[in-house]
């Protein structure tokens, strides 16, 4: 019996002992009934995890193929394969996965939870977010339900990861953990969810599911080193839906840009809490030149939103498109000024960073 259950029975017993006219036998009988009720209640508590896994698994697929550079000699290279996981987002065959899962994969096939195999007929990749869409010729597939946003998630919430860890024969494996942290930047363009749920090679592209049975995020990477345990990261559902809606509509993600090369403060780079602004190290667009922005200026906010890192800007720009005009609060030649800037369309990834961070 739990401590709570014992306490309830003790309280009940005290009440019975104080009840006028209640015999010792009647009191004992009622206490025994109370104990039985508590035990029955505890026994009937149902763990929701098995049912959630059962419900979401038909929407999870395995993806397998040959890595680019593999030998074309099938008799020598038949086992040199690589694989990952995907989540069905459209009943007609659209599946979301990680860009790093599908890029460089040849002769790839998708295998559903029921064992049906399909060739990939279309691929749309966004390297910046590490999100990709693939298409198979199928109908009436079970679509996963995505959480509208992961912003209301709390650290400590139980979550489930489903995927294809280590071996393709282990597809649709489930592991359970908790949300360890939110709004993690790391070496990504957008903020990530941190979890201690076991995620292994092959889990990439698979869902991180909350206790409502909703996909909270897409598992993307983990820290793997001696002495490092259970540090996985997932792309939040709102970022996944932002990217996939763009890929479905136009085949690419057209991001707005400030047309500036920016340098983050030392505090921002090492992860310390900071209000330090971003420093302009290079003016790259004609729009930025027209706005009067110069090298050495510092950027505090965009349309009233404080920005201290490139990730802050990327998250903010989910709501903007190229051609829009924004107000930048800056410091130039020692003065605080407001610059109006028309956003350009140049898309620069973190892989192109040299001395500064380009956006």
Q: Which residues contact 37 (CB under 8 A, 6 or more apart)?
A: none
Given 204, 257, 285, 344, which residue is catalytic?
Answer: 204
C-alpha dist (Å) from residue 151 to 35, 179, 185, 195, 197: 42, 12, 15, 15, 19
CB-count exposure of residue 304 (10 Å: 0-12, 13-18, 19+): exposed
Q: Does 347 participate in catalysis according to the annotation?
A: no
Determine whether 204 is an active site residue. yes
Answer whether 27's CB lies under 8 Å from 17's CB: yes
Task: Check if the beta carbon of residue 109 is closer than 8 Å to that of residue 120.
Answer: yes
Give the closest residue to 164 by CA, choosing from 151, 153, 152, 175.
175
Tell the burial category of 230 from Cβ atoms under 10 Å away from its Cβ (0-12, 13-18, 19+): middle
146 DSSP assignment: B
Q: How many CB atoms lie within 10 A of CB 30?
A: 16
Exactly one of 57, 83, 126, 130 is catalytic; name it: 130
> Rounded to an integer, what distance in angstroms lies between the CA atom of residue 83 and that of residue 182?
28
Candidates 193, 277, 282; CA nearest to 234 is: 193
User: At how many degrees (to 10) do helices 3-18 and 24-43 cross?
Assistant: 160
Q: Please give the backbone phi and psi of residue 121, each rounded to the nearest 5 degrees, phi first.
A: -105, -15
Distance CA 330, CA 278 (A): 9
83 in active site: no
Map tokens 């559902």 to a residue. 237
Tell me the C-alpha distance between 280 and 299, whole Å: 7
Upper half-sphere CA count for residue 139 (Cβ side, 13 Å): 0
- For residues 177 and 198, is the Cβ–Cβ distance under 8 A? yes
- Please list, in sequence order, all residues whose beta carbon lies within 8 angstroms of the beta carbon of residue 247, skipping any fewer than 6 positions away: 124, 126, 131, 132, 133, 253
What is the set of active-site residues?
A: 100, 130, 204
């Amino acid at each position: 019996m739990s401590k709570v259950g014992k306490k309830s029975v003790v309280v009940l017993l005290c009440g019975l002992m104080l009840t006028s006219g209640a015999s010792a036998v009647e009191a004992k009988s009622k206490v025994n009934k109370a104990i039985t009720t508590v035990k029955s209640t505890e026994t009937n508590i149902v763990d929701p995890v098995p049912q959630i896994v059962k419900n979401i698994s038909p929407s999870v697929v395995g993806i397998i193929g040959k890595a680019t550079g593999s030998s074309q000699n099938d008799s020598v290279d038949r086992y040199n394969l690589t694989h990952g996981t995907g989540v069905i987002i459209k009943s007609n065959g659209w599946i979301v996965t990680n860009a790093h899962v599908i890029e460089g994969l040849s002769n790839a096939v998708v295998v559903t939870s029921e064992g049906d195999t399909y060739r990939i007929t279309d691929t749309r990749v966004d390297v910046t977010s590490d999100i990709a869409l693939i298409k198979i010729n199928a109908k009436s597939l079970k679509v996963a339900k995505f959480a509208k946003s992961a912003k209301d998630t709390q650290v400590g919430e139980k979550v489930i990861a489903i995927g294809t860890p280590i071996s393709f024969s282990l597809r649709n494996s489930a592991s359970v953990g908790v949300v360890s942290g939110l709004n993690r930047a790391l070496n990504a363009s957008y903020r990530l969810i941190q979890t201690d749920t076991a995620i292994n090679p092959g889990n990439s592209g698979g869902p991180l599911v909350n206790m409502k049975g909703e996909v909270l995020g897409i598992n993307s990477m983990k820290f793997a080193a001696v002495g490092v345990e259970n540090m996985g990261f997932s792309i939040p559902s709102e970022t996944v839906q932002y990217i996939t809606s763009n890929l479905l509509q136009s085949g690419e993600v057209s991001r707005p840009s400030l047309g500036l090369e920016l340098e983050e403060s030392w505090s921002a780079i090492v992860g310390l809490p900071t209000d330090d602004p971003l420093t302009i190290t290079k003016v790259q667009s004609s729009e930025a030149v027209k706005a009067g922005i110069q090298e050495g200026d510092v950027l505090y906010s965009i349309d009233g939103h404080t920005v201290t890192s490139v990730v802050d800007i990327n998250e903010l720009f989910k709501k903007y498109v190229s051609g829009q005009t924004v107000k930048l609060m800056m410091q130039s030649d020692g003065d605080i000024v407001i610059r109006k800037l028309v956003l350009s369309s140049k898309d620069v990834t973190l892989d192109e960073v040299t001395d500064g961070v380009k956006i």
